[in-house]
Amino acid sequence: MKKYKYIIFDLDNTLLNFTKSEHYALQDLFAKYGVIFNEENFSTYKEINHELWSKLEEGTIQKPAVLETRFARFFATQGLQVDGKKADDEYRQFLEGRNDLMDGAYELLDYLTEAGYILFAGTNGVGRTQRQRLKNAEMAHYFKELYISEEVGFEKPDVRFFDTIFTQENIKDLSKVLMIGDSLSSDIRGANRVGINSIWLNLSSDISIEDKPTYECLSLKNIKELMNNNNL
């Protein structure tokens, strides 16, 4: 008998290649505003964006503060005054046109579905964007339900994000739930806070110091092997 029955999947950089999609979407957005897309400007944006998303995960700011100010702040470093909300919407349109997947995503989802696991998507992000990207990838049908932070009202690692899933799906035995994701600060920390096991998809060969996952894999193929070989 398998150890787990329910699997909650993160999406960005777990199943969907957000890094690649973001790169091309930003390239298009910068061009629209006449800004050169180079390593320096990309790094400047990433620093601003990371700062805001970290504060969001910590609960010190709300999502509109991220979406409405990140591009206004970035373009200000380029000497441009822009409507941050409008720029974010334009960026999101470019992002929603992408269909970039992580290697082995379909193979893992096919294996887990055929093995009888019940799959949920549990992602931090904007509802319309995440749903469109899943549609582009023809991946939505793998999931019993999609739980997106904007719609749920809480961001991972907030326990209320996970509690919403457990309540909605009437999941009582948390020992049967497994979280799979690439982010220590949201996926693994959230799993630990709520008391469920986790697989950390470690794409950068980092070492987890504070947020300890139950299992660690370096690729989606490794996750498939782990689940299969250990009857998880």
Pick the catalytic residue: 10, 88, 158, 187?
A: 10
Measured CA to CA in angstroms, residue 25 lies from 20, 88, 125 at distances of 9, 11, 16
Dihedral sign from CA coordinates of 55, 60, 66, 70: negative
Dihedral sign from CA coordinates of 35, 40, 43, 44: negative
Is 110 assigned a catalytic role?
Answer: no
Maximum Cα–Cα distance for the chain, whole Å?
61
Is 10 assigned a catalytic role?
Answer: yes
Q: Give the catalytic positions in this structure.
A: 10, 12
